[in-house]
Amino acid sequence: MRKTQSILPGFGPALGYTLTYISLVLLIPLAMVFLKTLTMSWETFWRTVTDPRVLASYRLSFLASFLGASINGIFGLLLAWVLVRYRFPGQRIIDALLDLPFAMPTAVAGIALTTLYSANGWFGRYLENVGIKVAYTPLGVVVALTFIGLPFVVRTIQPVLQDLDKEYEEAAASLGASRWQTFSRVIFPALVPSWLTGFALAFARALGEYGSVVFISGNMPMRTEITPLLIRTKLEQFDYTGATAIALVMMIISFILLLIINLLQNWNRRRMASH
């Protein structure tokens, strides 16, 4: 089990404790999803997870998460750039505030965003005038998922941008490249692994999100119902097997995303090490 000998104490007890705790708290409860799904026949399982209402919820969850992560991809890159390269008043406060979506409970974010974007809210009032409805529409789901995914892209790009050697930029510039050419051909390629990692993290977080979305989405079946909410609804109707089948599909997607994120992070680390 152990690869190299160390004189530090506690390997055995620490390993035993960690494995026991993980099994009790994590593995046994998670195994329930697989056990419960095994009680279904393949046909029932397939019918449950491809029901039109369920398919509509996948479509909304995927599209809204993708849009939210894309908005964060663009603004996260911009925020990281502005925070690392420029200096302006209020910079430290903005830098500190960026982690708010990690610290703010999702229910609080949910009711705050709904109030902002509802028909008589601070933003909703003006958007309604130009004919844009946000609260209780798929657009509202995108807004909530943008909020909760906001820190990921900024926080993954920031350290890479900070460590980026300015020599390459100087070399490119002195060889006659314009600033835009330097950015798109020298700086951005170096940021791609961390940028994609941040995007994938924001996307994965958005897919499973529940608390901030349920208030602003309005929860109309076929239209503004995200997949986690559908699981919740099935549970409330005591359709445990139906809920578990959809949960299994979501878990498989999450595991695949986790795998992709790990591969991206390894790529990122190799890039960082070679610099």
Partner 1 sequence: MKRCKGIQKGPSGESIITEPIWLQKMLIGVAVGFVILFLIAPLLIVFGQALAKGWGAYWEAIREPDTLKAIQLTLLTAAISVPLNLIFGVVAAWLIAKFDFWGKNFLLTLIDLPFAISPIISGLIFVLLFGLQGLLGPWLSQYNIKIVFAVPGIILATIFVTFPFVARELIPVMQSLGNEEEEAAIVLGANGWQMFFKVTLPNIKWGLLYGVILCNARAMGEFGAVSVVSGHIRGQTNTIPLQVEILYNEYNFTAAFAVASLLALLALITLIVKHVVEWKSGRHHSSSVQINRFKEGISHEY
- Site residues for partner 1, 119-158, by CB under 8 A, read 121-123, 146-147, 150
Based on CB atoms, which residue is closest to partner 1, 222 or 263? 263
SS (H, E, C) 101-119: HHHCCHHHHHHHHHHHHCC
Based on CB atoms, which residue is closest to partner 1, 70 or 115? 115
Structure tokens at 126: 């003006």
> Which range touches partner 1 (CB under 8 A), out of 48-56, 131-139, 189-197, 233-241?
233-241
**CB atoms inside a 10 Å sphere around CB 91:** 12
Q: What is the residue-wise DSSP string for 154-217?
A: HHHHHHHHHH--HHHHHHHHHTT--HHHHIIIIIHHHHHHHHHHHHHHHHHHHHH--HHHHHHH
Nearest one of 225, 187, 228 to 206, comparing CA atoms: 228
Based on CB atoms, which residue is closest to partner 1, 22 or 55? 22
- Compute the least distance from the CB of residue 13 to partner 1, in Å: 8
Which of 47, 56, 66, 82 lies at the binding interface for partner 1 (CB under 8 A)?
82
Say how many Å lie between the first and final Cα of the chain, rounded. 34
Based on CB atoms, which residue is closest to partner 1, 50 or 170? 170
User: Amino acid letter at 103?
Assistant: A
Which of 38, 52, 87, 130 lies at the binding interface for partner 1 (CB under 8 A)?
87
Which of 137, 217, 244, 268 lies at the binding interface for partner 1 (CB under 8 A)?
244
Q: State how far the Cα of 67 lies from the Cα of 229, in Å rounded to an integer.
A: 19
* Residue 73 near partner 1 by CB under 8 A: no
Q: State how far the Cα of 255 lies from the Cα of 179, in Å rounded to an integer.
A: 40
Which of 38, 41, 52, 96 lies at the binding interface for partner 1 (CB under 8 A)?
96
Which of 235, 267, 271, 272 lies at the binding interface for partner 1 (CB under 8 A)?
235
> Using CB under 8 A, which residues numbered 180 to 199 contact partner 1?
182
* Residue 252 near partner 1 by CB under 8 A: no
Q: State how far the Cα of 13 lies from the Cα of 19, in Å rounded to an integer.
A: 10
Nearest one of 83, 260, 203 to 155, comparing CA atoms: 83
> Using CB under 8 A, which residues numbered 32 to 71 contact partner 1?
32-33, 35-36
> Which range touches partner 1 (CB under 8 A), out of 40-48, 129-137, 188-196, 244-252?
244-252
Cα-Cα-Cα-Cα dihedral sign, residues 15, 17, 23, 26:
negative
Which of 40, 211, 219, 223 lies at the binding interface for partner 1 (CB under 8 A)?
211
Cα-Cα-Cα-Cα dihedral sign, residues 158, 159, 163, 168:
negative
* Residue 220 near partner 1 by CB under 8 A: no
Q: State how far the Cα of 141 lies from the Cα of 67, in Å rounded to an integer.
A: 10
- Compute the least distance from the CB of residue 41 to partner 1, in Å: 18
* Residue 169 near partner 1 by CB under 8 A: yes
> Which range touches partner 1 (CB under 8 A), out of 44-52, 81-89, 125-133, 216-224?
81-89
* Residue 268 near partner 1 by CB under 8 A: no
